[in-house]
């Protein structure tokens, strides 16, 4: 398998560049019988869409997805689902000036070196524009997981630069432009972003994503542990530099007596593990956090190189998000959904005939 597919039994394969005619993906392995329309995907596409708030890029894309196959009379048929989104607001001329430049902190240099060529318009394939298809595919997984098992997958911005959420109000998240769960800090966020825009700089962020009602048993040790596959999927999102499951890096200074989640007939008494033990879901909520770097597309000049090896000082023009972490929330949800869906199918493949285990701890 080359690198544009993810999953083993629920497989998403994508194509498309920032400024090409269209983006698309194929979702292979979706069980038949799922009611599915474009509207099921559009909600999350709209949440991710550029131009949806003043804090994100000014590029405007309708991001209207079309279902080209795999759905008949409103339901999935079990065959491969073709999805397409036409690019409508690509302005390639914006980018002709960077044809021979490597923007620092971007993939320009590595794509050029790897392939000996690159589509330099807006980053080409390395642009986060490609994540629209992940969101579309993830919405199918989300719907299936929700309908069949009541699994809910929700993300939020847990930190933007120095501003941390101290409240986790799930209702608040969809009310503001930041996917931020702490209403008391929205003013601070707004001020911070205004200052940031003025400065021409960008900022990092932390996004958290949680899945509830996940059945016990998902994950295929020893290499395709559920947490390993979640790490793969989340680290594969543009700009992500770190992934945590449960307590994450806080475990470095924890003692075993503090970290281990004790069990009683009522269930686990804590969730330091983040819902995964030995690489297999425990029935507790799956909790993951990711760190997103500040975009390198800023208007502050920086030293860089031309393709020919000459030193230059450059400024990134174009339309960019000052904090790419914000729009990463629906992307992280989508990737977690894809992983859970894939593992659900893998689990089923092996275990259908096993007598369902006793639901100890009230968890199944």
Query: What number of other Cβ atoms are within 10 A of residue 254's Cβ?
Result: 12
Q: Please say which residue, 92 or 175, places its beta carbon nearer to a second copy.
A: 92
**Cis before 306 (ω within 30):** no
Report in angstroms the alpha-carbon separations of 250 from 42, 57, 259, 350. 37, 34, 10, 35
Q: Please say which residue, 198 or 255, places its beta carbon nearer to a second copy.
A: 255
**What character string, x for contact with a second copy (CB under 8 A) and - otherwise, covers 142-171?**
------x----------x-xx---------
Q: Please say which residue, 132 or 171, places its beta carbon nearer to a second copy.
A: 132
Report residue 147 CA to chain centroid gap: 21
Of the CA atoms within 13 Å of residue 271, those in its CB half-sphere come to 17
* Binding residues for a second copy restricted to 61-120, rule: CB under 8 A: 66, 68-70, 72, 75, 77-82, 84, 102, 104-107, 109-119
Read off the DSSP letter of residue 253.
Answer: G
Query: What number of other Cβ atoms are within 10 A of residue 150's Cβ?
Result: 11
Annotated binding-site residue? 60: no
Smallest gap from residue 86 Cβ to a second copy (A): 9
* Binding residues for a second copy restricted to 217-256, rule: CB under 8 A: 217-225, 227-236, 238, 240-256
* Binding residues for a second copy restricted to 185-214, rule: CB under 8 A: 201-206
Q: How far apart are CA 140 and CA 67, in angstroms?
A: 11
Contacts of 92 (CB under 8 A, 6+ apart): 19, 121, 122
Q: Please say which residue, 171 or 313, places its beta carbon nearer to a second copy.
A: 313
As beta bridge partners, residue 25 has 14, 83
- Binding piece for a second copy, criterion CB under 8 A, among 37-45, 48-56, 174-182, 290-298: 290-298
Report in angstroms the alpha-carbon separations of 196 from 161, 168, 203, 321. 11, 25, 8, 11
Annotated binding-site residue? 49: no
Smallest gap from residue 205 Cβ to a second copy (A): 6
- Binding piece for a second copy, criterion CB under 8 A, among 46-54, 57-65, 295-303, 326-334: 295-303
Annotated binding-site residue? 118: no
Annotated binding site for NADP(+): 48, 54
């Amino acid at each position: 398998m080359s690198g544009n597919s993810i999953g083993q039994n629920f497989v998403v394969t994508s194509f498309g560049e920032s400024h090409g005619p269209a983006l698309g993906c194929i979702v292979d392995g979706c069980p038949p019988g799922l009611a599915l329309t474009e509207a099921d995907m559009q909600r999350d596409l709209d949440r991710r869409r550029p131009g949806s708030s003043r804090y994100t890029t000014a590029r405007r894309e309708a991001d209207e997805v079309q279902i080209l196959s795999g759905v008949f009379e409103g339901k999935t048929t079990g065959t491969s689902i073709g999805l397409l989104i036409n690019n409508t607001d690509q302005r390639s001329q914006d980018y002709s000036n960077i044809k021979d430049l490597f923007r620092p902190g971007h993939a320009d240099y590595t794509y050029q070196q790897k392939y000996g060529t690159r589509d330099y318009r807006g980053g080409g394939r390395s642009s986060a524009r490609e994540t629209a298809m992940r969101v579309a595919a993830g919405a199918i997984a989300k719907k299936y997981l929700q309908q069949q098992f009541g699994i809910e997958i929700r993300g939020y911005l847990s930190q933007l630069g120095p501003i941390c959420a101290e409240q986790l109000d799930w209702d608040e998240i969809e009310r503001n432009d930041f996917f931020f769960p702490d209403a008391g800090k929205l003013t601070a966020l707004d001020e911070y972003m205004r200052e940031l825009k003025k400065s021409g700089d960008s900022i990092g962020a932390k996004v958290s994503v949680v899945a509830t009602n996940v059945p016990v048993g998902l994950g295929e040790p020893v290499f395709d542990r559920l947490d390993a596959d979640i790490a793969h999927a989340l680290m594969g999102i543009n700009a992500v530099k770190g992934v945590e499951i449960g307590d994450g890096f806080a475990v470095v200074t924890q003692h075993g007596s503090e970290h281990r989640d004790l069990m009683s007939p009522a269930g686990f008494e804590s969730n330091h593990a983040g819902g995964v033990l030995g690489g297999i879901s425990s029935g507790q909520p799956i909790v993951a956090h990711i760190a997103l770097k500040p975009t390198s597309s800023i208007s502050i000049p920086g030293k860089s190189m031309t393709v020919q090896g000459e030193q230059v000082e450059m400024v990134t023009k174009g339309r960019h998000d000052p904090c790419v972490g914000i729009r990463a929330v629906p992307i992280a949800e989508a990737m977690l959904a894809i992983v859970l869906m894939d593992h659900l199918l893998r689990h089923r493949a092996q275990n259908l005939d096993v007598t369902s285990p006793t639901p100890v701890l009230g968890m199944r």
